[in-house]
Chains A and B, each alone.
Chain A
Amino acid sequence: MSDITRREALNRLAVAFAAAGALDHLAAVEAHAAIEQATAGGGPYTPKALTGHQFLTLSRLTDLIIPVEDGRPGAVQAGVPAWIDSLLEVNAELRARYTDGLTWIDKTMQGRHGSDFLMATPEQQTGLLDQIAYQKNRSPELDPGIDFFILLRRMTVDGFYTSPIGMRDIYPGNTPLGEFTVPQEALDYVLSRSPFAE
């Protein structure tokens, strides 16, 4: 749905621009925001490659990796778990790495605190991640978790910043402007550190 809607919306945008002759940039910015909202993640999702439990565990993990920040959406709001699930559907080896990794996390949490990852406390959850998020903690016991976390962190960051919501978190481009300007703040920052500082 989101691919087609976005392409159609972009086409309508193009037709509107061409017909207008003079571009109504405010309308263009609003239209662009509407496109992104229509294609954002969120809303109920039925996982295809993972079980319901695995998907919820994955969602909690991505939420910890890229949480909401000052009200700005994080990985879950940006649809990262669903994106990862869609990739697992077409790659059996990748799916196995996730199911093995998620199982390892649940079993490790069970052994430590008597519950799976989802039912553990936030402190217990971050306590485990604080270990497997760093290569310096490598040991025969933790290696499977560390290896899985490397993959999970990479794909969570990938999924976040390539989503419409996540891209907007950091990248100000790919948006229609009525005028190109360079903020004085940016010029001042660079020039004051350059050989051309007054």
Chain B
Amino acid sequence: MAQGADSTVHDVVVIGSGAGGGTVTKVLTDMGIRVLLLEAGPMIQMSDFKTMMGPSDFWHRGAGEAAELYTTGQTAALNYSASFAANTVDEPYTVAPGSSFRLFRSRVIGGRTNHYARVQLRYSDYDFKPKSMNDAGFDWPIGYDDIAPYYDKVERFIGVTGRPEGLRSAPDGIFQRPAPFKVHEELVYRACARLGIKATSSRHAVITSPLNGRPACIYCGQCGRGCRFGSNYASSYVQIFPAMRSGRLTVVTDAMARELVTDASGKVSEVLYIDKTTGAERRVRCRTVVLAASACESARLLLNSKSSRHPDGLANSSGMVGKYLTDTVGFGMSATVPYLRGTPIHNTDGYGAHLYIPWWMADQHNRLDFPLGYHVEVGGGGFGMPTLGFGAAAYNRVEGYGLPMKQAIRESYGGITISLSGRGSMVPNEDCYCEIDPDVKDKWGIPVLRFHWKWGDSELNMARHMRESFRAILETLGGTINQPGGRGGGAGRAGGAGAEPDDDRPQLGPGGGIIHEIGCVRMGDDPRTSVVNRFCQAHDVPNLFSADGGPFVSHADKNPTHTIMALAWRTAEYLAEEMRKGNV
């Protein structure tokens, strides 16, 4: 039964501590407003991140606690990642028959912002208006000009590297100086130029000059481990930990929100959550609630918050909660580039990819069989950190021992493949949505999500274009295309996508596979077809706000994090103003 220990009515309860929750929390506490932040995962400290560690930081170096690598061949790889993947035994989800979907959740303070690649791209004008500009999907009720001042605020606060280019598909921001292209990226840049494609410096939430008390990046290339020094963005160390020092933030970790309770007026009055350390159910009273649990989890919370006033779930009179879920279209191809062999060994860590390719055909849709676009991320080359197995190809080939063997290892060191990964826009469709599974519950008795998913022709046609473009770029730089591997990749397969045997389009991976799931709590002016208004305030419940990827109406040819943050900043300012006026 619920415990009534906390009788405080919190001005703002924020559920979820990722990019959106962290942004709302920092903006509000900076304005003098007190916030209670609920996070489903544990608290961590910057010293927990494995930045700059190596195999020798583990006594067995990766061989396993029983050195099993050398007798059974089996061992878990050393895990340096800062991702705290949800345990799918405790927290399952289901997938409807005929659908393919994979949900990734990171249960920790800061969520996925601790380990994401830090790609930080402004949406273009057309990303907000795909219907009116490209006759696809749905327009947002707001546009680029509404969000632009908030992109400015986010960039000034967190710092983003980049090079201004004046491209419609890559709106310029307030940039810090980017790092130079790596050797293999120089090849991609030149191949693109030959094909009339403009590649440019990547835009990453990494700082190359000190900013707001955070030191500049030291180019260790380990952003995915979380940054011990705070030189990249994560909501944990850039927003939440500083907000905690303001004295206006209370953080409750290991707190799994289970239901939002409304009062007689229809407003949210309490948040019920499970204290995961004890299993006890607790309640907090709230004046306002900001839902930032990630798009799907926020939809889940709304759908699980039924009442007589909200029989289909909270704020769901439109029936739109859970609907029009989208993910990024992902397709990859790699090539072997033999002349990279023998490159003088040098430090290639950097801050990940230093180059990317913005969408280059935004104004040429009459030549394409899909209405939207994609950008391209680049990987490959480089001199990686030795791990167990290092040099095996060389010494298995040359055999022997001593200095000749060592020389052979040195000569074979270094990556000679280049990979291109397309990240494309998706047209929202009715076959992609999440709902509450009628039978399955998680460890704490909370009904789980069931996913429905189907890629549309727009996405499959786009993947075919990615394949053709990548082949052109990789062959132009002198690469030999690697044969197709598993799902979603490779140089084209017969009998790929659909039921038709002559469908030569690539197969795409499961929905959610690129981990950019957005939608499900979508924004609109019309309460009959949307969940939240243009300020991310629920139409049905005026003291309920959304600050994750939920409100997104369309899916851009860009990663969503930057826009989640800008939108959340705007929502926080609106919320504060509404509180000041006494409207909520």
Contact = CB atoms under 8 A, between A and B. Distances in A.
A191 B67 CA distance: 43
Contacts of A104: none
Contacts of B56: 2, 6, 39, 162-164, 167
Contacts of A66: 401-402, 405-406
Contacts of A64: 401-402
Given A69-B403, A151-B70, A194-B187, A173 B385 contact: yes
A173 B221 contact: yes
Given A91-B70, A129-B401, A14 B213 contact: no
Interface residues of B, number: 81
A158 to B, nearest CB: 5
B443 to A, nearest CB: 32
Interface in B229-255: 229-230
Contacts of B184: 190
The interface centre, meaning the residue of B182, B346, B477, B478 with most chain A CB atoms within 10 A of its CB, is B346
Interface stretch (B9-17, B122-130, B306-314, B391-399): B391-399
B157 interface: no
A61 B14 CA distance: 62
Interface in A113-146: 129, 133-135
Contact of B59 (A23, A65, A86, A133): A86
Contacts of A94: 67, 70-71
Nearest to A191: B186
Contacts of A90: 60, 65-67
The interface centre, meaning the residue of A67, A163, A167, A173 with most chain B CB atoms within 10 A of its CB, is A173
B215 A21 contact: yes
Interface stretch (B347-355, B372-380, B571-579): B347-355
A158 B344 contact: no
A178 B209 CA distance: 10
Size band of the A side of the interface?
35 or more
Interface stretch (B315-323, B335-343, B447-455): B335-343
A10 interface: yes
A14 B214 CA distance: 11
Contacts of B31: none
B368 interface: no
Nearest to B62: A162
A194 B335 CA distance: 14
A179 B218 CA distance: 7
Given A22-B210, A39-B56, A191-B186, A14 B71 contact: no
Interface string B446-482: 0000000000000000000000000000001110000
B70 A195 contact: no
A177 B229 CA distance: 13
Interface in B386-421: 386-392, 395, 399-403, 405-406, 409-410, 413
A87 B476 CA distance: 48
Contact of B182 (A14, A167, A182): A182
A71 to B, nearest CB: 13
A110 interface: no
B47 interface: yes
11 contacts: A6-B53, A10-B228, A14-B47, A18-B215, A66-B402, A90-B67, A91-B68, A180-B219, A186-B183, A189-B342, A195-B478
Given A157-B409, A162-B55, A172-B347, 15 more contacts: A14-B47, A23-B229, A28-B218, A66-B401, A133-B401, A134-B399, A157-B390, A157-B395, A158-B63, A162-B54, A171-B384, A173-B347, A180-B354, A182-B180, A195-B477
Interface of B: 46-47, 51-63, 65-68, 70-71, 179-184, 186-187, 190-191, 210, 213-216, 218-222, 228-230, 339-340, 342-351, 354, 383-392, 395, 399-403, 405-406, 409-410, 413, 476-478
Interface of A: 2-3, 6-7, 10-11, 14, 17-18, 20-23, 25, 28, 32, 39, 64-67, 69, 83, 86-88, 90-91, 93-94, 129, 133-135, 151, 153-155, 157-159, 161-164, 166-167, 170-183, 185-187, 189-191, 193-196
